Structure 1
Amino acid sequence: LDYWVRLHRKYRCRIDQVVIFLKSTTSDLVFTNEFRDTNTWHSYRVIRLWEQDPQPLLANRALLPLATLARSNQPLGLLEQVVAEVDKIEEKPLRGNLAACVDVLAGLRFEKELVRRLLREEIMEESVTYQDIIQKGVQKGLQQGLQRGKQEEAVLIVMRLLTLRLGLLDPVLQQRIEGLSITRLEELSEALLDFETAMDLGVWLDNC
């Protein structure tokens, strides 16, 4: 009701309000389509995503992430179909952002490890949103390490991220990273998003 009032006050137009429930539940709330209180009555449309036909969602690439939660007797097969449709998208930024959205929404229905196994890491890395999430997580971890005065924690975080991006690192590179200060580790956490190979890491270390 509060959203309806705000929109009506601002735009003075007809408003069709829709509430979308993403995760299957037996709660009475998902079967309620009105609000009543004393002299107030407000109705709205309710969509329970787990009851919806997935085909219209699969046909519109902007809605592909929602399709992972739609009706299906074979949920895993539906997830694989969504991932296949995302893979077909040629525009890298759009493909990456949709993959990141699939990762988030599919996590409401499937184990995170399963979703990540199906979504290729290189596609996820095309998403600005995904990179931002990773970067914020790294920065937060580094800051916590800095606050506790533990350079070792910062090294572990950066090493984990480098391994995910470049694979197992040469022991020599590992030793050089372990010798970096927290300030340099913070700089490396930003620079590594542009690395393509371990050689890029080596060049960065040579210049730092």
Structure 2
Amino acid sequence: MTLLEYDNTCKYLAENYPDEFAKWLLSSETSDILVIKTELTLEPIRADSVTFLQVANQILHLEFQTLAQSTPPLDFRMLDYYTRLKRQYGCEIVQVVIFLQATTSELVFRQQYTDTNTRHQYRVIRQWEEDPAPLLANPALLPLATLARSDSPRTLLEQVAAGVATIEETTERQNILACAGVLAGLRFKKDLIQQLLREEIMQESVIYQDILQKGEQRGLQQGLQQGEVALILRLLRLRFGDMNPELQEQIRGLSIPQLEELAEALLDFSSQTDLVSYLAAIDSSAI
């Protein structure tokens, strides 16, 4: 499995069972929950691991992370999402980052972005520290239970399998089983997953195939974006020498259409100052 497939699995669960995620994370009993499209109007964002749920008069922003490190850094990204959501919807924003894979990295213990005049806080869940009981009691959250705290991981996986077996509706049972099988791959060996969760049933699930296909498509898009970035950075270094790391990060954060436009525009640049002005114009147009 690729990292995108883990992200797609969590996104599927959150968007198909928003009531259960709101109940788990907000202690909300309402069923009037709207899944908001992940494309904010200002510019494209990473839609693979992000879910926005509108619950009453607040928005629940869920960010699923397999790795602790990301570009741009997660803490800054949370601030960025917050300001965009606040500007567009004007209501209370609750942000929750769920780290899926156990790690000792200090990044998973960071719960705020801090700058000279700014401090922005958000909630962090380290899934491997979570009590499995409420997850095991909720069919929609069974896949996340595979990554929860346990002194006997095998027993936990057996409990997940038993919970999935109690789901009466066939399609839902297959889909939850498929999601559990995908996420369990972050913790368990493939042969144990196949033994307890039965791979042939997982593969019959439509969502299992959809997760794999979307992962391949997004992987291709990321590969194209990275290739564009590498080419542009090489051209800029050839023309202007070593570049400011901050400028490099700005370029890495551009979408494919923005990179294609930059590739044409840089032919007219005479110095790095032109590049700085060009990137500043992109930032100002997003405000």
TM-score normalised by L of structure 2: 0.45
The equivalent residue for 1:43 is: 121
Local SS of the residue matching 2:98: strand
Whether 1:116 and 2:194 are equivalent positions in the alignment is yes
Q: Which has the higher strand share?
A: 2
What is the CA deviation profile of residues 99-122 of structure 1, one whole-angstrom value per residue up to 9, with x for unaligned ones?
111111110001122212211244
Unaligned runs of 5+ in 2: 1-78, 216-287
Report if the CA contact (8 A) 2:131-2:148 is conserved: yes
CA–CA separation in structure 1 for the residues paired with 2:114 and 2:211? 40
The equivalent residue for 1:33 is: 111
Number of aligned positions between the proteins: 137
* RMSD across aligned positions (CA): 2.0
TM-score normalised by L of structure 1: 0.61
Matches within 5 A, 1:182-197: none
Q: 1:10 to 1:135 in 2, by over 3 A?
A: closer
Whether 1:130 and 2:208 are equivalent positions in the alignment is yes
Matches within 5 A, 1:141-180: none
Whether 1:98 and 2:176 are equivalent positions in the alignment is yes
CA–CA separation in structure 1 for the residues paired with 2:94 and 2:213? 38
Code of the aligned partner of 1:119: L
CA–CA separation in structure 2 for the residues paired with 1:93 and 1:55? 24
CA–CA separation in structure 2 for the residues paired with 1:77 and 1:108? 16
Report if the CA contact (8 A) 2:179-2:208 is conserved: no
Q: Which has the higher helix share?
A: 1
Larger radius of gyration: 1
What is the CA deviation profile of residues 103-162 of structure 1, one whole-angstrom value per residue up to 9, with x for unaligned ones?
11110001122212211244314411223467899xxxxxxxxxxxxxxxxxxxxxxxxx
Report if the CA contact (8 A) 1:54-1:71 is conserved: yes
For CA contacts below 8 A with separation 6 or more, give which structure has more relative contact order.
2
